Amino acid sequence: MYFEDVAIGQTYVSHAIPVTQDEIIAFAIQYDPQMQHIDPEGARHSIFGELVASGWHTAAMTMRLQTDTFMGRFPGGALGAQLDGLAWPRPVRPGDSLHVRLDVLSARPSRSRPDRGVLQVRTTTLNQRDEPVQEMTASILVPRRPA
């Protein structure tokens, strides 16, 4: 897939991946060791009242789903150039199942790299009830079709 194969308004939807308590704890121990992410008992006293995934864990799972569904389809991959917004409207809990919806908002040839195009995309990560758990808008650099 190349820049020229993508149209404004296109939507890509990923497969779903399950979220386990063990994965939540393992990620958080290494990267975000806060009580609500690493200790099921202690998390009961948090604002969430239970163990929840780190937002950065949600972002990492989102990246995997985006790559499987969209970004990994470009030869050589796609390069994240700018993140315009990132929000976590609700927590991810053990037992949730996540998938992403990626909407192409704009497309333009790169001014500085004529062999690339710039896509602005909105990625919404949804749980099994289609409730958004993460929302972000980003600009990505993708290869153009060789002449």
Q: How many CA atoms lie within 13 A of 36 on its CB side?
A: 14
Residue 7's domain comprises 3-143
Using CA atoms, how far apart are residues 78 and 51, in angstroms rounded to an integer? Answer: 33
Query: Are residues 36 and 43 in contact, defined by beta-carbon separation less than 8 angstroms?
Result: yes
Using CA atoms, how far apart are residues 119 and 128, in angstroms rounded to an integer? Answer: 28
Task: Give the count of domains, the chain.
Answer: 1
pLDDT tens for each residue of 92-143? 999 999 999 999 999 999 999 999 999 999 999 999 999 999 999 999 999 9
Structure pTM? 0.95
Strands 132-143 and 79-87: antiparallel
Q: Find the CATH number of the domain harbouring 9.
A: 3.10.129.10
